[in-house]
Chain A
Amino acid sequence: SQQGEEDPQALSIQEGENATMNCSYKTSINNLQWYRQNSGRGLVHLILIRSNEREKHSGRLRVTLDTSKKSSSLLITASRAADTASYFCATDTENRDDKIIFGKGTRLHILP
C-alpha cells in the first residue's frame, strides 16, 4: 500500500515567495523525512522529524508533523531559483523495518 503522498504534484511560484508542500501517509510512523531531488540527480536529505516532534527548522526550511491527521508539511521560505527541484517525503513503516517508503513527490518550480 502507498505510504507518503505529496500534494500538490506540481507548484510554480515567484522567487522570494514561500512554498508549501504537503505529505499524507496511511499507517503509523516512527519518523518522516523530506528529500530534495534535482532533475536527474540524487536525493539530498533535508530534514527528519520524529513522531513525537511537531515542528522542526533547518535554515529556510520548516517541517511540521501532525500525527493525528497523518500529515506533514514542508515550508520553504524566501524561495530561490536554486530551490527548483522535486521534493519527496519518505516514511518508515508500521513494522519498523529498515526501509523507507517514498511518495511521488512535488515538482517545485521557482520563477525568476
Chain B
Amino acid sequence: EPEVTQTPSHQVTQMGQEVILRCVPISNHLYFYWYRQILGQKVEFLVSFYNNEISEKSEIFDDQFSVERPDGSNFTLKIRSTKLEDSAMYFCASSESGSDNEQFFGPGTRLTVL
C-alpha cells in the first residue's frame, strides 16, 4: 500500500542552524501539507501546497519557514534559523484533492533544537 515517507526520522541541530526536512508524498497525490506537534500538544497545521505554490499557511509559518517541491517526488520543509521552540515532531501529509479527501500522514521527523 502506498505511504508517505519522511527523512530523517530524528534530526538534532543547534539553535540558529538551518534544517531541511524531507518528505516523499504518495505518488498520485496533488496536495501536500506540513504539520507539527510539540510534545504533549495537539497537531498544528503549518502549510498546504498545491500546483507548486503555497495555498494556505498558518501564523506559525513565518519567514523562517519555506517549502519546496524540488523535483517530481520530494516535498521539503526548510527552517532557516532554528529556535528552541521549533523542537517538535513534524509531519508531512498528502491527499488526492484538498480538504474533500483523506490526508495521509508520514511517520514524522522529530526535530530537537539544542
Binding site for B on A (CB under 8 A): 30-31, 33, 35, 40-45, 48, 88, 90, 92-93, 96-105
Contact A30 B104 (CB under 8 A): no
Bin the interface of chain B by size.
20 to 34
Do residues B101 and A98 form an inter-chain contact, with CB atoms below 8 A? Answer: no
Best-buried of B35, B99, B106 by chain A (most CB within 10 Å) = B99
Partner of B43, one of A44, A45, A88, A92: A88
Q: Are B99 and A102 in contact (CB under 8 A)?
A: no
Q: How far is the CB of A111 from chain B (nearest CB, A)?
A: 22
Q: Which residue of B lies closest to A97 (CB)?
A: B56
Question: Smallest distance from the beta carbon of A17 to chain B beta carbons, Å?
Answer: 27
**Do residues B48 and A98 form an inter-chain contact, with CB atoms below 8 A?**
yes
Query: Are B99 and A45 closer than 8 Å at their CB atoms?
Result: no
Which residue from A42, A48, A88, A105 sits with its C-beta under 8 Å from B107? A42
A102's partner among B43, B98, B100 (CB-CB below 8 A) is B43
A42-B108, A45-B103, A100-B45 known, 12 other contacts, Cβ within 8 Å: A30-B99, A31-B100, A33-B103, A41-B108, A42-B106, A43-B105, A97-B55, A98-B56, A99-B33, A99-B45, A101-B45, A103-B42
Q: How far is the CA of A93 from the CA of B101 in the complex (A)?
A: 13
Q: Which chain A residue lies CB-closest to B6? A: A42
Known contacts being A33-B102, A45-B103, is A99 close to B58, with CB within 8 Å? yes
With A33-B102, A42-B105 given, is the CB distance from A98 to B44 under 8 Å? no
- Which one of B31, B33, B43, B55 has the highest number of Cβ atoms from chain A below 10 Å of its Cβ? B43
16 A-B contacts (beta carbon < 8 Å): A40-B89, A41-B107, A42-B106, A42-B107, A43-B93, A45-B103, A48-B101, A88-B42, A88-B43, A92-B100, A97-B55, A97-B99, A98-B55, A98-B56, A102-B42, A102-B44
